[in-house]
Structure 1
């Protein structure tokens, strides 16, 4: 400890400039700059250099400008016409000029010709194709030379016949043979016309098997940094990769340096947080240390290192250390923090864990596995008793075989008596990932003391709950371990991709409200596909749920900003691929519009007390059986109940928070209703504690709470009763489909029920009614499926995972939770403020819950007086309201 304190002291001496820390007092963490609370709003700008231009129906000129980061004799210019992906009619685009000029010398380095019968040999194209019968088919788009009146030299004609049956894919025009030199600027001069106005995006690549970008960030980065600064947003985060040293130990920081300087030129007050990519070491490293590379069941490694490799952790930490030292030496007055990333999609989960393929069969993982077993069991005898294997020892234990990991199991949960090796392996996977990310966090702390922020992606408990090979394969279920580290300041993740569409809610991937209780700040990554993404064609990953118009963009972004503000989260707007998703000044007016509300919430430390608490237990999810080839317990259990269930729970008309079970058991959750989504595997003490909470707070029990007794390793309906107070019986040959009873329909259930839920898990539990209980729904056999127990503190037991969406709202109202709308809506509450987002068009009756005057913060107008009033809302529209009490 003395050594660590000394190290932190000297590290802090080397960090000049402002000090940034997260102050987590009272469960309301905020970022402080030199002790003063500041907004946790940020902008993410991509290092991808894409230039955007508009092709109009009339012949017109446009230019594309690129700054080159590395020399190349044969660069390729990609022009992408994404608009083809959204048209279902024939299109035509023509070019009469494409010329590349060196800005420094003024010399033309490449000019493409469009005369003659054949296409210039340095011109090519491809289309992503259309989907048909599950396969991607080629598109009969064509390019050809065509004469044009008054245009000497002809034109290049791009034509698509359209497709009445479905959407076409993106069209790439590729122009080869461009010589470029490092640190020079080049301009592409174009003259073109199209049959309708459309945008194109462009990039310069070294055209290898995997195209390598040749340019520094351009116009879109500069524009968005400037727009953010004008809106008071100075935190700028950006990705940086290729910082690993070469085989001789030399590191190149020129790209990092150039990007920092580009940002600071646009905003000298920018507070920089580089996102440092540590995912994949260079080829020399992979060849030198083959045993440190991960290994799939197929034998390949995908080019990824093993998360368990101590050498990878050590070398990656040194890469991070070198980047930090470079930044602190060259930009000390502008550094705010560091965001080390790795694993799949930079988010610290195991590579390809969302697929059916399995990993962990490399030497590094085997070594770490045996070390883990030695530390846990100490002796071979103890391991043999736990696994019931007489010949096993920590020194010879192998990674569980693929067939064993994916075999068909009778129960939806792993049995400690039959599956002890796999349960241990699941726990091991979490520890290894947590150890890796904490190694990076510790490196940040060692280099900067407590003067800089450390940000990590981690803890996607709800989002990864339905991974086919078990949630454990992600490695994201050691959240409590990560939260306990003093080296971590902020955790981050994208807004859930499940329910972010227009009219949807805005939920996190994790128990983010518990992250706040731990004194850490949660950051929502808002990579909304805005109308500019639609116009430019680059909409991934949210192409199914993004905006097509400015109005829709404003609806989505206002909802997401309100969600972050009302929960006390940070947020960054993310231009994921550098295509200018947030380049429209109209979008940044939202930041200014909500800035004063964000400041009031932050500076006055207004408490965050959601009315409804959604409870998730990361330990229970580690016991979920992997999907076999016939049974998929993930799609039958965790997908409808946890991952998909968030959408329905968000629409109760009351404010909702997401918490860890251990915070509820510790008495840290102050809600009016607890929804227990996953408390399947509990100890005796946990069962007693959970039962005690239900004596004081209405509780919605989901599926099989307490069914697995971790103290004895046995499954029991008796432990379910101990946990919930409901006597239950286990049904055989029954699926999760249910139908409402007349009492259930009167209670608020839809008459149709969930009769199409053919999937099932084990157990299927039927609650046994007692006097005064109401059976709200039945299984197909007629056995009770959902049982309401009235009383001073009501409770509800739902034996199926196919929870009727309307049941959450109906039980909340029955339990006395104040609902702010007369119909399902996405509502958040904090202090005297409300945010209301409409799932559909209509007239909403708003009940503010007190005798007050209600003001719409967007326009400052009074929308209601006294108790109730009506708002006419469009689908996806979000209104932020302030309640001003009327005193007698």
Structure 2
């Protein structure tokens, strides 16, 4: 599949989005200026006024360049070929405290790698990843820095400075200042560097070193920083002592523990465990503040002209209270941060896996920060085993899965050659990357903000109150993703704060994964959302810490369950009905690791429905409870694991649409769908409304005016589908076994028989003496807007001598069939094959309002005898005739600009306020007539549609009309792609004309755009007019 096919699948996109903005002229030699811009609901990286898709290649400079050079050159050349504009490479800015030899060594390495990229791929823009640590030999050689290094209770130290170190805080800023100055003075690559990815902490990803193995950083530097934080928080030692339940603060306070000293205690409590709660909050504050400080240095030094990025916010991955990653809210509020990032989750990322995000990715988009996915998948070319994708084909499918997540959740992505050993050195792999990037650019130009049906919500503060954070949150957050991603639902991931402040788009269902700590203000804010029949789902326990009324926010009264442990089960009631019926009698695991944790129950469910109970007894403590409170619904789920089938049952209860069965990995924004198959077999996509469904890569229409499509997939395959508004507002295709009565049709059984067993509707006249042919009446309450859908199309084979077909209709204001609402067309007689016909009602005065019902007198007039037959493939109500691939009808108020048209306003005026398009020449001295250009990205196969039809009334002396066109392989208008027809002059009425392109050798490929020179040649004067009723691209004149 070539990009020339893919790039035309999204219709009516804004074609100027990727052109330089005219408002700024870049001075010769000036350094580039970059920022993140949001177009509608989608992000782009803007460099000097040009928007680019946020996709990038990463290469690793921790190797010697010479042995890796050939493979890296190949990857850069592939990136150049596919126009992937951004490249990243990991480097280090030396510290001022290092000697000149050390500094020169680091700068030489920077020069080598950045020059290599700029010279191999001259048009690339570079975002180097910068390590902010000091030179290790310098650190180890200076005893005065010993207390500044990260230290553990086992007396070991890391060879890096603590984030709490004042030495590090000042040194890294100086390194940023000097490093940027060095880069911006370099004549080879200065004009290619557009931002800095700032890295520190374990793996450069800003989480605490070895905190799971060795515990917290207890260094004197970190202790001093913690003390200063506490004094700032509480305002003084007395207030600090009161909060911690101490009589006074001593000179050795605060004590930093290796980990919370709370054996067999799952949650921390205020006052009792305030020291641990505060340390967890301090650790995340320190990391967040450090990232912001580094980003602010970049912005200050570059005068705001370069991007600043960091890894951060791994809420689903680093679920511990002391990871340092629980300050995402603060980082998102920082104006100097442009981009955040994480790898694809290491949980279930291989063939058939979910490839999930590590963060509440949709909150990042709400704050207009660009999230970047690091796709460090072990491709089939990786030397690391086991490989995530062991073949070239599966690697391509894995890349599709990961990019589809970027499309749906409005993020970017970089492809990573982790070892600079040619993991991406494959032409077919890069052709796929290029195709995906082209789709991203075109689709995202008109993409709106994600509006999921289900919002999954994470609370950072509640995570800071965890003693057994990893044990409990692994179920609530880390492992929970597999249930979410395989649910077949439309979903988003958000921070609790964004729900409370109203930033999250309205959803039908809100799932609170860990809302353990809520204060009075937060409860009140949640109460404001308890309306519009929303469903709130509370997982494990909610509003359970530092409260005297457990679960108050849920609408239930919670209490601790007795004799329930992680090995217990929940059994769904055997008589469960309604949305719960498929779960009746099922036993569900609680999902938590072994340990001593509380579980919660509903003390007095009252009128609430108890769906499941702890244990196997029918009188066990309630574990799953649902209640409709009138304006909102509440569902309490006592397990940590939100079983995927339980999640789908709750979705049914909430009125949420299920797009697919559970199991495969679905990502969707309700227009774009990505399905990554976790098993081979037939897949079914179920839609809430009738749509056209197109394969995004091949361009093949796989579903026409349908709410269900099925297709076969192999394990690990990824399918991209795009929904389009159907041409037909209502379509009935009479396939094998179509049950007319069950579908609401009525028909003239008194004079004809009707049969669909052969795959079409076969109507046979049985009593011609009645003087009528077979009559078919659609179901009532069609609900179709007649003004928007002026065509009734039918595909029939008439095996009779009758030569007319007729329709009648009723509307919401005219409810009976009659001769005032009828139309007839001529049809062929005794036909050997099927033919498409269209009733054109666009000029019928009574085709208006909302249609209620259609009656088809399938064949009428002389020539009907007993045994006469007519076969009907389908009937539809549509915006255009069946042979038109695209039709633009210029009805009253048609907004040319909003519909994507451009036109020659410099020499003519264009007006649709009175109905058809009225074009008046205002400056004939320019020597050209009025020009009208369609939207781009038409995506129509020229080979199937040889005619361009136009219905006009020419009130000028010009006697010709001319068209030009562009295609995927020839994207500019020119005389090689043009055609002219003769038209009447000073016409009294409208006339249909057709450009027949069937013999034009350049009418080929996928059509992009049409240009109409409506009237051309002599006879054009000021005031000349031409009226246009419609233009269309069609398979027939």
1:161-188 per-position Cα deviation (integer Å, ceiling 9, x unaligned): xxxxxxxxxxxxxxxxxxxxxxxxxxxx
Residues 244 and 282 in structure 1, CA contact (< 8 A), matched pair in contact too: no
Structure 2 residue 213 is matched with structure 1 residue 318 = no
2:254 is aligned, of 394, 398, 411, to: 398
Which residue of 2 is the match for residue 16 of structure 1? 30
Structure 2: any 5+ residue segments left out of the alignment?
Answer: 1-25, 730-876, 878-1037
Q: Which residue of 2 aligns with 1:349?
A: 207
Relative to 1, partners in 2 of residues 1:351 and 1:689: Cα closer, same or farther, differing over 3 Å? same
1:707 maps onto 2:544 in alignment: yes
Q: Provide closer, same or farther for how the CA distance between residues 27 and 856 of structure 1 changes in structure 2, counting only shifts above 3 A.
A: closer
Q: 2:297 is paired with a residue of what secondary structure?
A: helix
Query: Cα–Cα, structure 1 residues 13 and 374, in superposed 2: closer, same or farther, change >3 Å?
Result: farther
Specify the alignment match of 1:563 in structure 2: 405
Report if aligned partners of 1:22, 1:32 keep a CA contact under 8 Å in 2.
Answer: yes
Decide whether the 8 Å contact of 1:848 with 1:883 is kept in 2.
Answer: no
RMSD: 2.4
Relative to 1, partners in 2 of residues 1:314 and 1:286: Cα closer, same or farther, differing over 3 Å? Answer: farther
1:245, distance to aligned residue in structure 2 (A) = 5.3
What are the superposed Cα offsets for residues 262-304 of structure 1, whole Å, 9 maximum, x if unpaired? 1122210010111111234332234322221111111121212
Q: Structure 2 vs 1, CA of residues 282 and 760 (structure 1 numbering), >3 Å: closer, same or farther? A: closer
Please say if residues 127 and 196 of structure 2, whose CA atoms lie closer than 8 Å, have aligned partners that are also in contact: yes
Distance in 2 (alpha carbons) for counterparts of 1:831 and 1:740: 34
Q: 1:230 to 1:778 in 2, by over 3 A?
A: same
Residues 743, 872 of structure 1: alpha-carbon distance in 2 compared, 3 angstrom cutoff: farther
SS of the residue corresponding to residue 483 of structure 2 reads: helix
Q: Does 1:240 align with 2:91?
A: yes
State the 1:743 CA deviation. 4.1
Residues 246 and 689 (structure 1), Cα distance of their counterparts in 2 relative to 1, 3 Å cut = closer
Residue 836 of structure 1 pairs with residue 694 of structure 2:
no
Show the 5 A alignment for 1:368-517.
Answer: 368-393=225-250, 396-402=252-258, 405-465=259-319, 471-517=320-366
Q: Does 1:687 align with 2:538?
A: no
The answer as to whether partners of 1:246 and 1:282 remain within 8 angstroms in 2 is no
CA distance in 1: counterparts of 2:606 and 2:676, whole angstroms: 39
User: C-alpha distance in 2, partners of 1:438/1:351?
Assistant: 20
CA distance in 2, matches of 1:49, 1:280: 20
Shift of 1:841: 1.5
Mapping for residues 84-123 of structure 1, pairs under 5 Å:
none
Q: How many residues align?
A: 684
Change in 2 beyond 3 A, CA 1:764/1:504: same
Q: Retained in 1: the 8 A contact 2:571–2:616?
A: no
Quote the Cα distance in structure 1 between the aligned partners of 2:150 and 2:327.
21
Aligned pair 1:729/2:729, yes or no?
Answer: no
CA shift, 1:525, in A, is: 0.5
2:513 is aligned, of 662, 673, 677, to 677
User: Residues of 2 paired with 1:518 and 1:20: CA distance?
Assistant: 18
Give the Cα separation in 2 of the matches to 1:650 and 1:613: 13
Cα distance, 1:732–1:287 mapped onto 2, change above 3 Å: farther
Question: How far off is 1:599 after superposition?
Answer: 1.3
Shift of 1:42: 0.4
Preserved CA contact (<8 Å) 1:308 1:436: no
Q: Secondary structure at the match of 1:669?
A: coil
Inter-partner Cα distance in structure 1 for 2:514 and 2:656: 22
Cα distance between partner residues in 2 of 1:398 and 1:801: 34
Give deviations 1:822-842, integer Å, cap 9, x for gaps: 343322223632222222212
Q: 1:740 aligns with which of 538, 562, 571?
A: 571
CA distance in 1, matches of 2:670, 2:140: 54
In the alignment, structure 1 residue 846 sits paired with structure 2 residue 672:
no
- The runs of 5 or more residues in structure 1 that have no matched partner are 1-11, 51-65, 68-214, 466-470, 628-632, 709-713
Hey, what's the Cα distance between the residues in 2 that align with 1:44 and 1:228?
Answer: 11
Supply the distance in 1 between the matched residues of 2:176 and 2:591 (Cα, whole angstroms): 51
Counterpart-to-counterpart distance in 1, 2:51 and 2:564: 56
Distance across 2 between alignment mates of 1:728 and 1:370: 37
Report how far residue 494 of structure 1 moved.
0.5
Which of 811, 826, 841 is the aligned partner of 2:665?
826
Which structure has more relative contact order (CA 8 Å, sep 6+)? It is 1
Larger radius of gyration: 2
Structure 2 counterpart SS, 1:809 = helix
Of 715, 718, 736, 1:875 maps to 715
Conserved? CA contact 2:490–2:670, under 8 Å: no
Q: 8 Å contact 2:40–2:446 — kept in the other structure?
A: no
1:328 to 173, 184, 187: 184
SS at match of 1:558: helix
Q: Are the structure 2 counterparts of residues 245 and 14 from structure 1 closer, same or farther at C-alpha, using a change threshold of 3 Å?
A: farther
- Structure 2: how far apart are the matches of 1:356 and 1:47? 29
Whether the aligned pair in 2 keeps the contact of 1:16 and 1:328 (CA below 8 Å) is no
Shift of residue 798, structure 1, vs aligned partner: 0.6
Residue 344 (structure 1) shift: 0.2
Residue in 1 that maps onto 2:621? 783
* Cα-to-partner distance string for 1:333-353 (whole Å, 9 max, x where unaligned): 111111121110010111112
**What's the counterpart of residue 649 of structure 1?**
484
Contact 1:25 1:519 (C-alpha < 8 Å) held by counterparts:
no
Distance 1:622 1:751, change over 3 A: same
> Which residue, 637, 640, 650 being the options, matches 1:801?
640
Q: Deviations over 1:646-666 (max 9, x none)?
A: 111111112221110010111
Residue 550 of structure 2 contacts residue 557 of structure 2 at CA under 8 Å; is this kept in 1? no
Q: Distance in 1 between matches of 2:318 and 2:575?
A: 36
Q: Which residue, 375, 384, 387 being the options, matches 1:538?
A: 384
